[in-house]
C-alpha cells in the first residue's frame, strides 16, 4: 500500500483491479468455501480472543471483519517485524519483515475461529498470491495468519490442508501460518479507513466488493455498521 498508489489515476487503478478480478474469477472467487472440519468449540460464556490476519492492504481486511457479527474490534497494524520499523513509511519499503495485518478481537460465544478463517479465505483476499494482493506487491502484502497458540495453529493447519485437499483454488495456498508475533497498531489515519473514505478509488475498486461479498455469501454473519 505504497503512498504513491493513492494518486494513481482512476483509469490505471481500474485496469489493475480488472486483472485482479479476472484472475480471481478464474479461480472461483467470491464463493463460500467449505466450512472447517476442525474448529475450536463455541464458548458458553462471552469472552475475547484474538487472531492476527494478513492478506494485502490492511484497509480491506479490516473493512471485512468490522462487518462480522461477534467481532469486537478490528485493528490495522503491523506484525512480523520489530518495534523500530513498525511505521507505515518503513513497512511500505517491503524489507522490514512486517506484514500489513489486522488484529481481529472476537467473542468466541458468537463466532468461532473457524468461521473467521472461512471468511478470510472466501472473501477477504486471494490466498494463492505470493507477496502481493491485487495491485499491491511486496512482502508486506503477503498472506499470513499469526496464531496465538497451539489450539489456533491446529485449526489453521487443518483448514489449509482441508482446502488444499479439496482443490478449491487453481494454485497452491501461499498463506504463511506464522508463530505468535507482537502486533503494532498502525497510525490513526489507517484505522477504519474504508468506512471513513468510501469514495477513495482504491477502496471502491478493491475493498468495497469484499464487504459486498461478505454480505451476500455470509448473511448470517454479516452486520451493517
Give me the DSSP letters along the chain. --GGGGGS-HHHHHHHHHHHHHHHHHTT-SSPPPPPSS-PPPPSS---EEEEEEES-HHHHHHHHTTBTTEEEEEEEEESS-GGG-SHHHHTTS-SS-EEEEEEEE-TTTS-HHHHHHHIIIII--TT-SSEETTEESGGG-EEEE-SSHHHHHHHHHHHHHHHHHT-SSS----EEEPP--EEEPPGGGTTHHHH-TT-HHIIIIIHHHHHHHHHH-TTTB---
Determine whether 109 is exposed, middle or buried from the number of CB atoms within 10 Å of its CB (0-12, 13-18, 19+).
middle
Residue 22 annotated among the catalytic residues of the structure:
no
Number of neighbours of residue 153 by Cβ within 10 angstroms = 16
| Spatial contact of 15 and 74, defined as CB atoms under 8 Å apart | no
Catalytic residue among 57, 99, 102, 124: 57
Cell of 155: 485449526
Active site residues: 57
Amino acid at each position: 500500500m505504497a503512498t504513491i498508489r493513492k494518486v494513481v489515476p482512476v483509469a490505471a487503478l481500474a485496469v489493475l483491479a480488472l486483472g485482479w478480478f479476472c484472475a480471481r474469477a478464474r479461480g472461483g472467487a467470491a464463493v463460500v468455501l467449505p466450512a472447517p472440519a476442525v474448529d475450536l468449540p463455541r464458548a458458553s460464556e462471552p469472552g475475547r480472543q484474538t487472531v492476527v490476519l494478513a492478506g494485502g492492504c490492511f484497509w480491506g481486511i479490516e473493512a471485512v471483519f468490522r462487518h462480522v457479527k461477534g467481532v469486537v474490534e478490528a485493528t490495522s497494524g503491523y506484525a512480523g517485524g520489530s518495534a523500530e520499523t513498525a511505521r507505515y513509511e518503513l513497512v511500505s519499503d517491503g524489507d522490514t519483515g512486517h506484514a500489513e495485518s489486522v488484529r481481529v478481537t472476537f467473542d468466541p460465544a458468537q463466532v468461532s475461529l473457524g468461521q473467521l478463517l472461512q471468511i478470510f479465505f472466501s472473501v477477504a483476499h486471494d490466498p494463492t498470491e505470493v507477496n502481493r494482493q491485487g495491485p499491491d506487491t511486496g512482502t508486506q502484502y503477503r498472506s499470513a495468519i499469526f496464531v496465538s497458540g497451539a489450539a489456533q495453529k491446529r485449526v489453521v493447519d487443518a483448514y489449509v490442508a482441508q482446502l488444499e485437499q479439496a482443490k478449491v483454488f487453481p494454485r497452491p495456498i501461499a498463506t504463511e501460518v506464522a508463530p505468535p508475533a507482537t502486533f503494532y497498531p498502525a497510525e490513526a489515519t489507517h484505522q477504519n479507513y474504508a468506512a471513513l473514505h468510501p469514495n477513495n478509488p482504491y477502496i471502491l475498486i478493491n475493498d468495497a466488493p469484499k464487504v459486498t461479498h461478505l454480505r451476500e455469501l455470509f448473511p448470517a454473519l454479516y452486520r451493517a455498521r
